[in-house]
Chain A
Amino acid sequence: MSSTESLIKHLPNDIGGMPADRIEQIDHILLPWEKRCHALADVLDFHKIISTEEKRRGVEALGSDIIGKLTYYERWIVAFSVILFEKQLLQPEELALRMAEVEKRHQREPVL
């Protein structure tokens, strides 16, 4: 097999049958924002804005480096943002501005 052949035979998500470590039987209670992110995925699917399959492909398109380093719902929200840019439903600039605003809002709100 040539050195690049394995790269094109399997996209980053296509790991069925690959060698892998022992299964760690772990689980965690979702953080509130993770649950909101999951609900957002469902609502985007209901409105036919982003389907489950589009989301999966969107995550795959992030590439193996990002997929490997981000957590499950981090990958989702980044994929949603990219797909929304591609569909021109959101502009990168307005998302950046809103994120700065959200951050500022939290700095203003005192910790009680």
Chain B
Amino acid sequence: MAVGRRDGRAGQDVLRRVGEASVLVLISLAGGPKHGYALIQDIKELAGVELGPGTLYGALDRLERLGLIEPLPADDRRHPYRITAPGAAALRVHLESLERVSAAGRLRLQLGGI
């Protein structure tokens, strides 16, 4: 699945269905490799969302299965992860899609005078 998404469907928003937690993890890893605790702290800071550890590991496993992140050699008991090139591309596509939706939403609010 990961290979097909990486090679065959370039430009498609593969992050649309992975859930908010996975997108937040990917955004956090776009700033550099991190392990679990650092990810939770960073996401809390950047989005104000406190990810539960169970949610975090679920998101990490999902993203790794999709080939969007990869584990780095373990540092003691901690496993850092980093974003892969397909992960960065997928994140770019997703953020562009969000920006389009956001712009359309703002425009409609203006036109509707709400």
Do A and B actually bind? no
Chain A contact residues, CB within 8 Å of chain B: none
Chain B contact residues, CB within 8 Å of chain A: none
